[in-house]
Amino acid sequence: MRYAKIQACLGLAMLLTNVCWADAKLVNFDIPVAQRGVGHYSVLFKSERELRLLPDQYRDPKSGIRRPKVLPDVLPISEHDTAALAQALAASVGGKAPDSRVSLGGNVPSMFDLVGVTDDAAKSLAKDPRIEMIAVSVATADPGVNRRR
């Protein structure tokens, strides 16, 4: 009986671990609005190595990784695909992606800026398995730091 309970707990932990793998990290969402950029986020994709594993994981029901709804066959590896996916993901939550940066290769991931959305809208992208992290832009302490000279 005790062994069965332990086995059930381990099975549940493995299931939860697999499901959580697809959830992106959320950074700076706990900072008060007065101290951060409103409606501006940086979205970091997973590394190329991790991205290339996703199609096989979509096909494996045990992986817990679900196929994304927005451009499901696009991996943000090339400049074109990164820009297309960034624009489509931003549009899916009512925002814009004015800037995307493609990986320089290796394990350095691609990313994009997301603007014009609420915290909840930005957080909703965290379920996309291609996204590693979503960070709220934080305002600088000195307003003159970003001013041109």
Residue 105 lies in a domain: yes
pLDDT in tens, the chain (149 residues): 443 333 333 333 333 333 334 589 999 999 998 888 789 999 999 999 999 999 999 888 888 888 999 999 999 998 899 999 999 999 999 999 998 887 666 566 899 999 999 999 999 999 999 999 999 988 655 555 444 43
Residue 14 lies in a domain: yes
Residue 143 lies in a domain: no
Number of domains in the chain: 1
Residue 147 lies in a domain: no
Please state the pTM of the whole predicted model. Answer: 0.76
Per-residue pLDDT, 101: 82
Question: 59: domain range?
Answer: 2-138
Could you tell me the two tokens for 80?
A: 């074109």
Angle at 133 between CA 140 and CA 97, to 5 degrees: 70
Under DSSP, is residue 110 helix (H, G, I), strand (E, B) or coil? coil
Residue 61 lies in a domain: yes
